[in-house]
Chain A
Amino acid sequence: MALCAPPSNPNTLIVKYSIVSLLRNAFSHHEQWPLAWRSPPPKPEYDVVIIGGGGHGLATAYYLAKEHGITNVAVLEKGYLGGGNTGRNTTIVRSNYFLDANAHFYEHSLKLWENLSADLNFNVMFSPRGVLNLAHSHADLEAYSRRGNAMRVNGIDAELLGLDEVRRMVPLLDCSAEARYPVMGGLLQRRGGTARHDAVAWGYARGADSRGVDIIQQCEVTGFSRSGNRITGIDTSRGHIRAGKIGLAVAGHSGQVAALAGLRLPIESHVLQALVSEPVKPVLDTVVTSGAAHFYVSQSDKGELVLGGDLDMYNSYGQRSNLPPVEHAVQSLVALFPCFSRLRMLRTWGGVMDMSMDGSPIIGKSPIDNLYLNCGWCYGGFKATPASGWCFAHTIAQDRPHALNAAFTLDRYAQGRVLDERGAGPFAWAH
Protein backbone atom coordinates (compact mmCIF):
# COMPACT_ATOMS: atom_id res chain seq x y z
CA MET A 1 0.00 0.00 0.00
CA ALA A 2 1.32 3.40 -0.95
CA LEU A 3 1.71 5.31 2.24
CA CYS A 4 2.95 8.77 2.77
CA ALA A 5 2.92 10.97 5.81
CA PRO A 6 2.83 14.68 5.18
CA PRO A 7 5.21 16.47 7.52
CA SER A 8 2.62 18.86 8.87
CA ASN A 9 0.30 16.15 10.06
CA PRO A 10 2.19 13.10 11.17
CA ASN A 11 -0.81 11.51 12.85
CA THR A 12 -2.80 10.84 9.72
CA LEU A 13 -1.79 8.13 7.33
CA ILE A 14 -2.90 8.88 3.85
CA VAL A 15 -3.71 6.03 1.53
CA LYS A 16 -3.19 6.81 -2.11
CA TYR A 17 -6.36 5.93 -3.98
CA SER A 18 -5.76 3.63 -6.92
CA ILE A 19 -6.80 0.28 -8.31
CA VAL A 20 -3.93 -1.18 -6.29
CA SER A 21 -5.16 0.16 -2.99
CA LEU A 22 -8.70 -0.85 -3.90
CA LEU A 23 -7.56 -4.40 -4.57
CA ARG A 24 -5.54 -4.50 -1.38
CA ASN A 25 -8.49 -3.27 0.65
CA ALA A 26 -10.77 -5.74 -1.04
CA PHE A 27 -8.81 -8.46 0.73
CA SER A 28 -9.57 -6.88 4.07
CA HIS A 29 -13.18 -6.38 3.09
CA HIS A 30 -12.70 -2.63 2.95
CA GLU A 31 -12.49 -2.51 6.68
CA GLN A 32 -9.09 -0.84 6.75
CA TRP A 33 -9.80 2.32 4.78
CA PRO A 34 -8.77 5.36 6.80
CA LEU A 35 -10.85 8.48 7.27
CA ALA A 36 -10.97 10.62 4.16
CA TRP A 37 -10.54 13.58 6.51
CA ARG A 38 -10.27 14.10 10.24
CA SER A 39 -12.83 15.92 12.34
CA PRO A 40 -10.56 17.70 14.82
CA PRO A 41 -11.77 20.05 17.53
CA PRO A 42 -10.98 23.67 16.72
CA LYS A 43 -7.67 25.00 17.93
CA PRO A 44 -7.71 28.38 19.70
CA GLU A 45 -5.87 30.12 16.89
CA TYR A 46 -5.10 29.74 13.21
CA ASP A 47 -3.07 31.73 10.72
CA VAL A 48 -5.98 31.63 8.34
CA VAL A 49 -9.60 30.74 8.95
CA ILE A 50 -11.80 30.07 5.95
CA ILE A 51 -15.49 30.41 6.68
CA GLY A 52 -17.48 28.05 4.52
CA GLY A 53 -16.74 24.39 3.88
CA GLY A 54 -18.11 24.16 0.39
CA GLY A 55 -16.06 23.57 -2.71
CA HIS A 56 -14.64 27.09 -2.74
CA GLY A 57 -13.62 27.21 0.91
CA LEU A 58 -12.07 23.76 0.82
CA ALA A 59 -10.25 24.51 -2.43
CA THR A 60 -8.93 27.71 -0.90
CA ALA A 61 -7.56 25.81 2.09
CA TYR A 62 -6.07 23.20 -0.22
CA TYR A 63 -4.22 25.76 -2.35
CA LEU A 64 -3.15 27.77 0.70
CA ALA A 65 -1.36 24.65 1.89
CA LYS A 66 -0.21 23.36 -1.46
CA GLU A 67 0.80 26.55 -3.26
CA HIS A 68 1.68 28.84 -0.38
CA GLY A 69 2.81 26.50 2.38
CA ILE A 70 0.26 27.91 4.80
CA THR A 71 -1.04 24.93 6.72
CA ASN A 72 -2.19 26.35 10.03
CA VAL A 73 -5.60 26.78 8.49
CA ALA A 74 -9.12 25.97 9.60
CA VAL A 75 -12.20 25.66 7.45
CA LEU A 76 -15.36 26.33 9.46
CA GLU A 77 -18.54 24.79 8.17
CA LYS A 78 -21.97 25.49 9.64
CA GLY A 79 -23.40 22.17 8.50
CA TYR A 80 -21.46 19.45 6.76
CA LEU A 81 -18.82 19.97 4.13
CA GLY A 82 -20.10 20.29 0.60
CA GLY A 83 -23.63 20.57 1.94
CA GLY A 84 -24.54 23.81 0.20
CA ASN A 85 -24.44 24.68 -3.46
CA THR A 86 -21.50 22.36 -4.12
CA GLY A 87 -23.93 19.47 -3.87
CA ARG A 88 -26.94 21.16 -5.44
CA ASN A 89 -25.74 22.42 -8.79
CA THR A 90 -26.09 20.95 -12.25
CA THR A 91 -22.33 20.14 -12.49
CA ILE A 92 -21.52 22.01 -15.68
CA VAL A 93 -17.94 23.12 -16.31
CA ARG A 94 -17.12 25.59 -19.10
CA SER A 95 -15.16 28.74 -19.83
CA ASN A 96 -17.19 30.23 -22.67
CA TYR A 97 -17.17 33.87 -21.58
CA PHE A 98 -16.96 37.05 -23.60
CA LEU A 99 -15.44 39.53 -21.17
CA ASP A 100 -11.67 39.14 -20.88
CA ALA A 101 -11.56 38.99 -17.08
CA ASN A 102 -14.16 36.24 -16.96
CA ALA A 103 -12.65 34.36 -19.88
CA HIS A 104 -9.16 34.22 -18.41
CA PHE A 105 -10.39 33.30 -14.95
CA TYR A 106 -12.73 30.52 -16.05
CA GLU A 107 -10.17 29.21 -18.51
CA HIS A 108 -7.67 28.93 -15.67
CA SER A 109 -10.34 27.02 -13.81
CA LEU A 110 -10.95 24.70 -16.74
CA LYS A 111 -7.23 23.97 -16.93
CA LEU A 112 -7.22 23.07 -13.25
CA TRP A 113 -10.26 20.86 -13.83
CA GLU A 114 -8.42 18.99 -16.55
CA ASN A 115 -5.85 17.77 -14.05
CA LEU A 116 -7.92 17.83 -10.89
CA SER A 117 -8.50 14.12 -10.34
CA ALA A 118 -4.78 13.44 -10.57
CA ASP A 119 -3.90 16.46 -8.45
CA LEU A 120 -6.32 15.50 -5.68
CA ASN A 121 -5.93 11.75 -6.10
CA PHE A 122 -9.71 11.69 -6.02
CA ASN A 123 -11.76 11.00 -9.10
CA VAL A 124 -13.91 14.07 -9.61
CA MET A 125 -15.06 12.58 -12.92
CA PHE A 126 -14.47 15.66 -15.00
CA SER A 127 -15.76 14.74 -18.44
CA PRO A 128 -15.10 17.16 -21.26
CA ARG A 129 -18.13 15.99 -23.19
CA GLY A 130 -18.73 19.41 -24.75
CA VAL A 131 -21.04 22.28 -23.91
CA LEU A 132 -23.29 23.28 -26.77
CA ASN A 133 -25.21 26.57 -26.68
CA LEU A 134 -28.05 26.41 -29.18
CA ALA A 135 -28.73 29.40 -31.40
CA HIS A 136 -32.38 30.00 -32.22
CA SER A 137 -32.18 33.31 -34.04
CA HIS A 138 -29.90 35.46 -36.14
CA ALA A 139 -29.30 37.54 -33.04
CA ASP A 140 -28.15 34.42 -31.19
CA LEU A 141 -25.77 33.54 -34.01
CA GLU A 142 -24.43 37.06 -33.98
CA ALA A 143 -23.91 37.00 -30.21
CA TYR A 144 -22.33 33.54 -30.29
CA SER A 145 -19.98 34.62 -33.07
CA ARG A 146 -18.87 37.54 -30.98
CA ARG A 147 -18.39 35.39 -27.92
CA GLY A 148 -16.78 32.48 -29.73
CA ASN A 149 -14.32 34.72 -31.53
CA ALA A 150 -13.38 36.42 -28.28
CA MET A 151 -12.82 33.01 -26.71
CA ARG A 152 -10.64 31.86 -29.54
CA VAL A 153 -8.55 35.01 -29.57
CA ASN A 154 -8.17 34.54 -25.81
CA GLY A 155 -6.85 31.04 -26.43
CA ILE A 156 -10.03 29.19 -25.47
CA ASP A 157 -11.55 26.55 -27.69
CA ALA A 158 -14.83 27.33 -29.43
CA GLU A 159 -16.58 26.23 -32.59
CA LEU A 160 -19.62 27.61 -34.32
CA LEU A 161 -21.72 24.73 -35.55
CA GLY A 162 -24.22 24.79 -38.35
CA LEU A 163 -27.55 23.06 -38.11
CA ASP A 164 -26.30 19.83 -39.64
CA GLU A 165 -23.41 19.58 -37.24
CA VAL A 166 -25.76 20.21 -34.32
CA ARG A 167 -28.07 17.52 -35.60
CA ARG A 168 -25.24 15.01 -35.87
CA MET A 169 -23.99 15.80 -32.42
CA VAL A 170 -27.40 15.72 -30.71
CA PRO A 171 -29.50 13.37 -32.81
CA LEU A 172 -32.57 13.48 -30.57
CA LEU A 173 -32.86 17.27 -30.77
CA ASP A 174 -35.87 18.63 -32.65
CA CYS A 175 -34.25 20.52 -35.51
CA SER A 176 -37.42 21.03 -37.50
CA ALA A 177 -38.48 24.38 -38.87
CA GLU A 178 -41.87 23.99 -37.19
CA ALA A 179 -40.40 24.49 -33.73
CA ARG A 180 -41.37 27.75 -32.07
CA TYR A 181 -37.70 28.70 -32.00
CA PRO A 182 -36.09 26.55 -34.68
CA VAL A 183 -32.48 25.61 -34.00
CA MET A 184 -30.14 27.44 -36.34
CA GLY A 185 -26.77 26.30 -35.06
CA GLY A 186 -24.78 26.50 -31.91
CA LEU A 187 -21.62 27.50 -30.14
CA LEU A 188 -19.68 24.49 -28.93
CA GLN A 189 -16.93 24.35 -26.37
CA ARG A 190 -15.60 20.82 -26.61
CA ARG A 191 -13.40 21.10 -23.57
CA GLY A 192 -16.39 22.00 -21.41
CA GLY A 193 -18.41 19.28 -19.74
CA THR A 194 -19.50 18.00 -16.39
CA ALA A 195 -17.97 16.74 -13.17
CA ARG A 196 -19.20 14.89 -10.09
CA HIS A 197 -20.09 17.71 -7.75
CA ASP A 198 -19.85 16.01 -4.36
CA ALA A 199 -16.51 14.50 -5.26
CA VAL A 200 -15.06 17.96 -5.71
CA ALA A 201 -15.84 18.93 -2.13
CA TRP A 202 -14.66 15.58 -0.81
CA GLY A 203 -11.51 15.56 -2.90
CA TYR A 204 -10.50 19.05 -1.80
CA ALA A 205 -11.40 18.23 1.81
CA ARG A 206 -9.22 15.15 1.75
CA GLY A 207 -6.42 17.01 0.02
CA ALA A 208 -6.55 19.93 2.44
CA ASP A 209 -6.81 17.68 5.47
CA SER A 210 -3.82 15.64 4.35
CA ARG A 211 -1.81 18.84 4.25
CA GLY A 212 -2.73 19.70 7.80
CA VAL A 213 -5.81 21.84 7.38
CA ASP A 214 -8.44 21.43 10.12
CA ILE A 215 -11.90 20.99 8.66
CA ILE A 216 -14.38 21.79 11.40
CA GLN A 217 -17.95 20.86 10.63
CA GLN A 218 -21.05 21.77 12.63
CA CYS A 219 -19.38 25.05 13.47
CA GLU A 220 -21.50 28.11 12.84
CA VAL A 221 -19.99 31.58 12.88
CA THR A 222 -22.00 33.87 15.12
CA GLY A 223 -19.88 37.01 15.25
CA PHE A 224 -16.53 38.69 14.88
CA SER A 225 -14.31 40.45 17.41
CA ARG A 226 -12.80 43.62 16.04
CA SER A 227 -9.84 45.72 16.96
CA GLY A 228 -9.59 48.83 14.85
CA ASN A 229 -10.00 47.83 11.25
CA ARG A 230 -8.99 44.24 11.92
CA ILE A 231 -10.86 41.16 12.92
CA THR A 232 -9.10 39.46 15.78
CA GLY A 233 -11.31 36.48 16.33
CA ILE A 234 -14.39 34.63 15.34
CA ASP A 235 -17.23 33.63 17.63
CA THR A 236 -18.57 30.25 16.69
CA SER A 237 -20.98 27.67 17.98
CA ARG A 238 -17.85 25.75 18.98
CA GLY A 239 -16.16 28.59 20.80
CA HIS A 240 -13.97 31.57 20.04
CA ILE A 241 -11.24 31.15 17.43
CA ARG A 242 -8.48 33.68 16.90
CA ALA A 243 -7.42 34.21 13.32
CA GLY A 244 -4.68 36.05 11.53
CA LYS A 245 -6.61 36.29 8.30
CA ILE A 246 -10.18 35.40 7.54
CA GLY A 247 -11.55 34.32 4.18
CA LEU A 248 -15.27 34.32 3.54
CA ALA A 249 -16.52 31.68 1.11
CA VAL A 250 -20.18 31.18 1.94
CA ALA A 251 -21.89 31.85 -1.38
CA GLY A 252 -25.65 31.79 -0.98
CA HIS A 253 -25.33 33.31 2.45
CA SER A 254 -22.57 35.87 1.91
CA GLY A 255 -24.82 38.74 2.87
CA GLN A 256 -25.61 37.13 6.21
CA VAL A 257 -22.03 36.48 7.26
CA ALA A 258 -20.78 39.79 5.87
CA ALA A 259 -23.42 41.54 7.92
CA LEU A 260 -21.84 40.03 11.06
CA ALA A 261 -18.74 41.98 10.07
CA GLY A 262 -20.78 45.09 9.37
CA LEU A 263 -20.48 44.89 5.58
CA ARG A 264 -23.13 45.37 2.94
CA LEU A 265 -22.54 43.57 -0.33
CA PRO A 266 -23.79 44.04 -3.87
CA ILE A 267 -25.45 40.65 -3.61
CA GLU A 268 -28.94 39.23 -3.29
CA SER A 269 -29.82 35.64 -2.48
CA HIS A 270 -32.03 33.99 -5.06
CA VAL A 271 -33.14 30.40 -5.48
CA LEU A 272 -32.28 28.54 -8.65
CA GLN A 273 -34.35 25.51 -9.57
CA ALA A 274 -32.96 22.24 -10.85
CA LEU A 275 -34.31 18.76 -11.43
CA VAL A 276 -33.34 15.28 -12.53
CA SER A 277 -35.20 12.61 -14.42
CA GLU A 278 -35.18 8.92 -13.68
CA PRO A 279 -32.03 7.24 -14.97
CA VAL A 280 -32.00 5.77 -18.47
CA LYS A 281 -29.35 4.28 -20.70
CA PRO A 282 -27.16 6.87 -22.49
CA VAL A 283 -29.14 9.19 -24.79
CA LEU A 284 -27.34 12.52 -24.51
CA ASP A 285 -23.57 12.82 -24.65
CA THR A 286 -23.26 16.59 -24.67
CA VAL A 287 -24.32 19.38 -22.36
CA VAL A 288 -27.00 21.28 -24.25
CA THR A 289 -28.01 24.77 -23.28
CA SER A 290 -30.46 27.15 -24.81
CA GLY A 291 -29.97 30.78 -24.06
CA ALA A 292 -33.39 31.70 -25.41
CA ALA A 293 -35.01 29.54 -22.78
CA HIS A 294 -32.44 29.94 -19.98
CA PHE A 295 -32.20 26.22 -19.72
CA TYR A 296 -29.55 23.51 -19.78
CA VAL A 297 -29.52 19.72 -19.75
CA SER A 298 -26.97 16.96 -19.53
CA GLN A 299 -27.06 13.28 -18.74
CA SER A 300 -25.23 12.16 -15.63
CA ASP A 301 -23.07 9.07 -15.48
CA LYS A 302 -25.85 7.44 -13.51
CA GLY A 303 -28.20 8.03 -16.42
CA GLU A 304 -30.35 10.84 -15.06
CA LEU A 305 -31.10 13.86 -17.21
CA VAL A 306 -30.00 16.83 -15.14
CA LEU A 307 -31.87 20.04 -15.90
CA GLY A 308 -31.18 23.53 -14.70
CA GLY A 309 -33.80 26.17 -14.95
CA ASP A 310 -34.33 29.72 -13.99
CA LEU A 311 -34.38 31.62 -10.75
CA ASP A 312 -37.57 32.03 -8.76
CA MET A 313 -37.00 35.71 -9.55
CA TYR A 314 -37.46 36.95 -6.00
CA ASN A 315 -35.11 37.16 -3.04
CA SER A 316 -35.17 33.90 -1.15
CA TYR A 317 -33.29 31.68 1.23
CA GLY A 318 -35.96 28.98 1.10
CA GLN A 319 -34.16 26.04 -0.47
CA ARG A 320 -37.33 24.60 -1.90
CA SER A 321 -38.74 23.76 -5.23
CA ASN A 322 -41.10 26.06 -7.06
CA LEU A 323 -43.34 25.00 -9.89
CA PRO A 324 -43.16 27.82 -12.47
CA PRO A 325 -39.41 27.64 -13.18
CA VAL A 326 -39.48 23.83 -13.06
CA GLU A 327 -42.40 23.73 -15.45
CA HIS A 328 -40.64 26.12 -17.79
CA ALA A 329 -37.43 24.13 -17.76
CA VAL A 330 -39.36 20.96 -18.56
CA GLN A 331 -41.26 22.71 -21.34
CA SER A 332 -37.95 23.83 -22.79
CA LEU A 333 -36.65 20.28 -22.64
CA VAL A 334 -39.71 18.74 -24.23
CA ALA A 335 -39.83 21.46 -26.87
CA LEU A 336 -36.21 20.69 -27.79
CA PHE A 337 -36.37 16.92 -27.23
CA PRO A 338 -39.94 15.74 -27.89
CA CYS A 339 -38.88 12.13 -27.27
CA PHE A 340 -38.11 12.84 -23.59
CA SER A 341 -41.75 13.62 -22.89
CA ARG A 342 -42.36 10.12 -21.50
CA LEU A 343 -39.38 10.17 -19.14
CA ARG A 344 -40.21 11.15 -15.63
CA MET A 345 -39.03 13.79 -13.22
CA LEU A 346 -37.52 12.09 -10.21
CA ARG A 347 -36.54 14.95 -8.00
CA THR A 348 -36.50 18.72 -8.02
CA TRP A 349 -34.76 21.10 -5.67
CA GLY A 350 -33.66 24.67 -5.24
CA GLY A 351 -30.32 26.13 -4.26
CA VAL A 352 -29.59 29.58 -2.89
CA MET A 353 -27.42 31.63 -5.25
CA ASP A 354 -25.29 34.61 -4.40
CA MET A 355 -26.54 36.81 -7.22
CA SER A 356 -24.18 39.73 -7.66
CA MET A 357 -25.25 42.98 -9.24
CA ASP A 358 -23.24 42.48 -12.41
CA GLY A 359 -23.35 38.71 -12.65
CA SER A 360 -19.64 38.33 -11.92
CA PRO A 361 -17.97 37.20 -8.71
CA ILE A 362 -16.07 39.08 -6.06
CA ILE A 363 -12.71 37.63 -4.99
CA GLY A 364 -10.55 40.05 -3.17
CA LYS A 365 -9.90 42.27 -0.22
CA SER A 366 -12.64 43.80 1.83
CA PRO A 367 -12.80 47.16 3.60
CA ILE A 368 -11.60 45.28 6.70
CA ASP A 369 -7.83 44.76 6.70
CA ASN A 370 -7.62 41.03 7.26
CA LEU A 371 -10.99 39.94 5.89
CA TYR A 372 -11.10 38.62 2.34
CA LEU A 373 -14.21 38.06 0.25
CA ASN A 374 -15.12 35.25 -2.10
CA CYS A 375 -18.76 35.62 -3.11
CA GLY A 376 -21.26 36.63 -5.76
CA TRP A 377 -20.96 33.48 -7.83
CA CYS A 378 -24.40 33.60 -9.39
CA TYR A 379 -24.82 30.39 -11.43
CA GLY A 380 -21.12 30.08 -12.10
CA GLY A 381 -19.81 28.83 -8.80
CA PHE A 382 -19.32 25.16 -9.46
CA LYS A 383 -17.16 25.45 -12.55
CA ALA A 384 -15.19 28.21 -10.85
CA THR A 385 -14.32 26.09 -7.81
CA PRO A 386 -10.67 25.29 -8.63
CA ALA A 387 -9.73 28.77 -9.86
CA SER A 388 -11.73 30.41 -7.12
CA GLY A 389 -9.81 28.53 -4.46
CA TRP A 390 -6.54 29.05 -6.30
CA CYS A 391 -7.00 32.82 -6.68
CA PHE A 392 -8.48 33.29 -3.24
CA ALA A 393 -5.57 31.44 -1.65
CA HIS A 394 -3.17 33.68 -3.56
CA THR A 395 -5.05 36.79 -2.50
CA ILE A 396 -5.05 35.78 1.16
CA ALA A 397 -1.46 34.59 1.19
CA GLN A 398 -0.05 37.62 -0.65
CA ASP A 399 -2.55 40.15 0.63
CA ARG A 400 -3.17 41.23 -2.96
CA PRO A 401 -5.08 39.68 -5.82
CA HIS A 402 -3.55 37.62 -8.56
CA ALA A 403 -3.82 39.05 -12.06
CA LEU A 404 -6.58 36.50 -12.73
CA ASN A 405 -8.87 37.96 -10.08
CA ALA A 406 -7.64 41.55 -10.12
CA ALA A 407 -10.85 42.68 -11.80
CA PHE A 408 -13.13 40.93 -9.32
CA THR A 409 -12.86 43.59 -6.64
CA LEU A 410 -15.61 44.81 -4.38
CA ASP A 411 -14.95 48.44 -5.23
CA ARG A 412 -15.51 47.93 -8.95
CA TYR A 413 -19.13 48.91 -8.36
CA ALA A 414 -18.27 52.32 -6.93
CA GLN A 415 -15.56 52.64 -9.57
CA GLY A 416 -17.90 51.88 -12.44
CA ARG A 417 -15.83 48.94 -13.62
CA VAL A 418 -18.48 46.26 -13.41
CA LEU A 419 -18.19 43.00 -15.36
CA ASP A 420 -21.66 42.67 -16.79
CA GLU A 421 -21.47 39.67 -19.13
CA ARG A 422 -25.18 39.81 -19.94
CA GLY A 423 -25.44 43.58 -19.88
CA ALA A 424 -28.46 43.30 -17.65
CA GLY A 425 -27.60 46.08 -15.23
CA PRO A 426 -27.92 46.32 -11.46
CA PHE A 427 -30.71 43.78 -11.10
CA ALA A 428 -29.38 40.73 -9.33
CA TRP A 429 -32.01 38.37 -10.67
CA ALA A 430 -31.50 39.42 -14.27
CA HIS A 431 -28.04 37.92 -14.69
Chain B
Amino acid sequence: MMLIHCPHCGARDVTEFTYGGAGAARPADPAAADDPQWADYVYMRDNPRGLHDELWQHSAGCRRWIAVRRNTLTHDVIATARPGELPPR
Protein backbone atom coordinates (compact mmCIF):
# COMPACT_ATOMS: atom_id res chain seq x y z
CA MET B 1 0.00 0.00 0.00
CA MET B 2 1.89 2.99 -1.28
CA LEU B 3 1.88 6.33 0.47
CA ILE B 4 1.76 9.28 -1.91
CA HIS B 5 2.54 12.80 -0.84
CA CYS B 6 -0.14 15.02 -2.28
CA PRO B 7 1.43 18.50 -2.69
CA HIS B 8 -1.83 19.99 -1.48
CA CYS B 9 -2.93 17.62 1.30
CA GLY B 10 0.14 15.74 2.51
CA ALA B 11 0.86 12.01 2.64
CA ARG B 12 -2.13 9.80 1.89
CA ASP B 13 -2.78 6.12 1.15
CA VAL B 14 -2.70 5.25 -2.52
CA THR B 15 -6.33 4.16 -2.25
CA GLU B 16 -7.30 7.85 -2.11
CA PHE B 17 -5.81 8.37 -5.56
CA THR B 18 -6.75 7.36 -9.09
CA TYR B 19 -4.04 6.56 -11.58
CA GLY B 20 -3.87 8.52 -14.80
CA GLY B 21 -0.91 7.05 -16.64
CA ALA B 22 2.07 8.79 -18.14
CA GLY B 23 -0.01 11.62 -19.57
CA ALA B 24 1.88 12.18 -22.81
CA ALA B 25 2.08 15.73 -24.17
CA ARG B 26 -0.65 16.34 -26.73
CA PRO B 27 0.52 17.38 -30.20
CA ALA B 28 0.05 21.13 -30.49
CA ASP B 29 -1.66 20.80 -33.85
CA PRO B 30 -3.34 17.41 -34.05
CA ALA B 31 -4.45 17.98 -37.61
CA ALA B 32 -0.81 18.28 -38.64
CA ALA B 33 0.14 14.90 -37.20
CA ASP B 34 0.10 11.87 -39.47
CA ASP B 35 -1.60 8.68 -38.32
CA PRO B 36 1.52 7.05 -36.82
CA GLN B 37 2.47 10.27 -35.02
CA TRP B 38 -1.02 10.58 -33.61
CA ALA B 39 -1.08 6.90 -32.64
CA ASP B 40 2.25 7.38 -30.91
CA TYR B 41 0.64 9.99 -28.68
CA VAL B 42 -2.59 8.07 -28.07
CA TYR B 43 -1.25 4.52 -27.71
CA MET B 44 2.52 4.14 -27.47
CA ARG B 45 4.25 4.09 -24.09
CA ASP B 46 7.82 4.11 -22.80
CA ASN B 47 6.82 1.74 -20.00
CA PRO B 48 10.13 2.01 -18.13
CA ARG B 49 11.32 -0.44 -15.52
CA GLY B 50 12.51 2.20 -13.10
CA LEU B 51 11.71 5.89 -12.82
CA HIS B 52 8.37 6.83 -14.33
CA ASP B 53 6.79 10.27 -14.42
CA GLU B 54 3.07 9.81 -14.16
CA LEU B 55 -0.16 11.51 -13.21
CA TRP B 56 -2.50 10.70 -10.38
CA GLN B 57 -5.68 12.34 -9.23
CA HIS B 58 -6.30 12.77 -5.53
CA SER B 59 -9.82 11.69 -6.29
CA ALA B 60 -10.95 10.93 -2.76
CA GLY B 61 -9.22 14.07 -1.48
CA CYS B 62 -8.68 17.46 -3.05
CA ARG B 63 -9.55 16.24 -6.57
CA ARG B 64 -6.32 17.74 -7.86
CA TRP B 65 -4.27 15.98 -10.52
CA ILE B 66 -0.65 15.69 -9.46
CA ALA B 67 2.59 14.60 -11.06
CA VAL B 68 4.42 11.73 -9.40
CA ARG B 69 7.90 10.43 -10.09
CA ARG B 70 7.91 6.82 -9.02
CA ASN B 71 10.09 3.76 -9.44
CA THR B 72 7.99 1.09 -11.15
CA LEU B 73 10.19 -1.68 -9.80
CA THR B 74 10.56 -0.69 -6.15
CA HIS B 75 7.49 1.54 -5.92
CA ASP B 76 9.56 4.24 -4.24
CA VAL B 77 7.93 7.62 -4.74
CA ILE B 78 10.77 9.99 -5.56
CA ALA B 79 8.90 13.26 -5.93
CA THR B 80 5.43 14.73 -6.29
CA ALA B 81 4.42 18.12 -7.67
CA ARG B 82 1.74 19.96 -9.58
CA PRO B 83 1.42 18.66 -13.15
CA GLY B 84 4.38 19.72 -15.24
CA GLU B 85 6.37 20.88 -12.25
CA LEU B 86 8.44 17.84 -11.38
CA PRO B 87 12.11 18.75 -11.06
CA PRO B 88 14.36 17.70 -13.93
CA ARG B 89 15.79 14.20 -13.46
Q: Which residues on B sit within 8 Å (CB–CB) of A315? A: 21-22, 47, 52, 54, 72
Please tell me if the beta carbons of B43 and A266 are within 8 angstroms of each other in the complex.
Answer: yes
Please give the distance in Å from A167's CB to the nearest CB on chain B: 34
Give the contact-size bracket for chain B: 20 to 34
Please give the distance in Å from A251's CB to the nearest CB on chain B: 12
The stretch among A33-41, A292-300, A423-431 that forms the contact with chain B is A423-431
Please tell me if the beta carbons of A414 and B36 are within 8 angstroms of each other in the complex.
Answer: yes
Q: Which residues on A sit within 8 Å (CB–CB) of B21? A: 268, 315, 427-429
Chain B residues numbered 1-60 whose CB sits less than 8 Å from any CB in chain A: 1, 14-15, 18-19, 21-22, 35-36, 38-40, 42-49, 52, 54, 56
Number of A-B contacts (CB under 8 A): 76
Our pick among B19, B35, B46, B72 for the contact of A414 (Cβ within 8 Å) is: B35
Distance in angstroms between the alpha carbons of A427 and B38 in the assembled complex? 16
Q: SS class of chain A's interface: helix, strand, loop or mixed? A: mixed
Q: Tell me if A265 is interfacial: C-beta within 8 Å of chain B.
A: yes
Q: Which residues on A sit within 8 Å (CB–CB) of B36? A: 414
Please tell me if the beta carbons of B43 and A314 are within 8 angstroms of each other in the complex.
Answer: no
Chain A residues numbered 302-351 whose CB sits less than 8 Å from any CB in chain B: 313-318, 322-324
Please tell me if the beta carbons of B47 and A267 are within 8 angstroms of each other in the complex.
Answer: yes
Our pick among B15, B38, B48, B73 for the contact of A318 (Cβ within 8 Å) is: B73
Q: Tell me if B75 is interfacial: C-beta within 8 Å of chain A.
A: yes
Most buried by A among B15, B39, B40: B39
Please tell me if the beta carbons of A318 and B45 are within 8 angstroms of each other in the complex.
Answer: no
Please tell me if the beta carbons of A318 and B35 are within 8 angstroms of each other in the complex.
Answer: no
Q: Which residues on A sit within 8 Å (CB–CB) of B35? A: 414-416
Please give the distance in Å from B40's CB to the nearest CB on chain A: 7
Given A268-B21, A323-B1, A427-B21, answer yes or no on A318-B72 (Cβ-Cβ < 8 Å): yes
Given A267-B45, A313-B19, answer yes or no on A413-B72 (Cβ-Cβ < 8 Å): no
Please tell me if the beta carbons of A317 and B45 are within 8 angstroms of each other in the complex.
Answer: no
Please tell me if the beta carbons of B42 and A268 are within 8 angstroms of each other in the complex.
Answer: no
Q: Which residues on A sit within 8 Å (CB–CB) of B42? A: 357, 413, 426
Chain B residues near A (Cβ < 8 Å): 1, 14-15, 18-19, 21-22, 35-36, 38-40, 42-49, 52, 54, 56, 70, 72-75
Name 19 A/B residue pairs within 8 A (Cβ), A-sorted.
Answer: A255-B45, A255-B46, A255-B47, A256-B47, A256-B49, A266-B45, A313-B19, A314-B54, A314-B56, A315-B21, A316-B72, A317-B72, A318-B72, A318-B73, A318-B74, A318-B75, A357-B45, A426-B42, A427-B21
Chain A residues near B (Cβ < 8 Å): 253, 255-256, 259, 264-269, 313-318, 322-324, 357, 413-416, 426-429
Extra contacts besides A318-B72, A428-B21 (14): CB < 8 Å? A256-B47, A266-B39, A266-B44, A267-B45, A268-B45, A313-B19, A314-B54, A315-B72, A318-B75, A322-B1, A324-B15, A357-B45, A413-B39, A428-B45
